[in-house]
Amino acid sequence: MKTFTVIAYLLMAAGCGFAADAAKPTIKVADDGFPAGHDTPEGVACDLARAFIKRDTTLLTNTCIKLYAGGKGPEDYAKFLQSTVESMKKEAAKKEPSLRGPKSIGKVFAARHLSKNGPASYGYAAFDFQDIMFVDVGVFLYDGRHSLNRTLVIKDRDGKWYAHPLPTAGSGLLGDGLNDESASEKDFSDAYEALK
């Protein structure tokens, strides 16, 4: 009888261990119920969307990957960021937001790796990036319609995730095949346990 009890206990303990291994990672979400911050790829993709929703230039520049490449890439990327900041400032100065502008986040899909190996290999070899993925974020617009935005996200050498709003800067290798990927299906809540 004791042997059976010990075996049953060991099997139960092993089963609990397997259940714990299958548990989803826990993340905190913002007040809107979606990820935020540099800890997850979904967090920075949402923060990029929030920057445009709030017309928040500080959030934009903090969320985006810093200048990283050689050649003409950094110049193109810096001009793009500066132009975006100026555009956001003009939009923020308006009494009413543009009807085609983003109003709120409606759906966030789980991050996915690109099908092609080239972008991740290039990012690792050339810039010491730890990972490259993409996140699809659906937003509601002020005119009542919705838009799906695909964001390239990079885990930099500091271990934090950053959004790359212009993956075509420089050689464009980091975003190779990004827009050819199939539609995302898995919601971020299927990958994480969300806590407010």
Question: How much is the pLDDT for 64?
Answer: 96
Range of the domain at 61: 28-195
Low-confidence ranges of the chain (pLDDT < 70): 1-22, 70-72, 170-171
CA–CA separation, 164 vs 59, rounded Å?
13
- Cβ atoms of 80 and 166 closer than 8 Å: yes
The CATH number covering residue 42 comes to: 3.10.450.50
pLDDT at 130: 96
Residue 59 resides in a domain = yes
CA 65 from centre of chain: 12
- Residues making up the chain, counted from first to last: 196
Strands (DSSP E) found in 18-171:
26-28, 102-108, 131-141, 146-155, 161-164
Paired residues of 161 in beta bridges: 155
Q: What is the pLDDT of residue 179?
A: 93
> Looking at the domain assignment, is residue 85 inside a domain?
yes
Q: Is the Cβ–Cβ distance between 36 and 49 less than 8 Å?
A: no
Strands 26-28 and 102-108: unpaired
Strands 146-155 and 161-164: antiparallel
Give the count of domains, the chain: 1
Query: Is position 115 within any domain?
Result: yes
Asked if the structure places residue 23 within a domain, the reply is no
Going by their DSSP bridges, the two strands 26-28 and 193-195 should be labelled as: parallel
Express the helix, strand and coil content of the chain in percent, nearest 5 each: 40, 20, 35
The number of CA neighbours under 13 Å toward the Cβ of 191 is 17
> For the segment 72-112, what is each residue's pLDDT rounded down to a tens digit?
677 888 899 999 999 999 999 998 888 999 999 999 999 99
Q: Could you tell me if residue 16 is inside a domain? A: no
pLDDT at 14: 45
Residue 3 belongs to some domain of the structure: no
Q: Is residue 171 part of a domain?
A: yes
In a domain? residue 182: yes
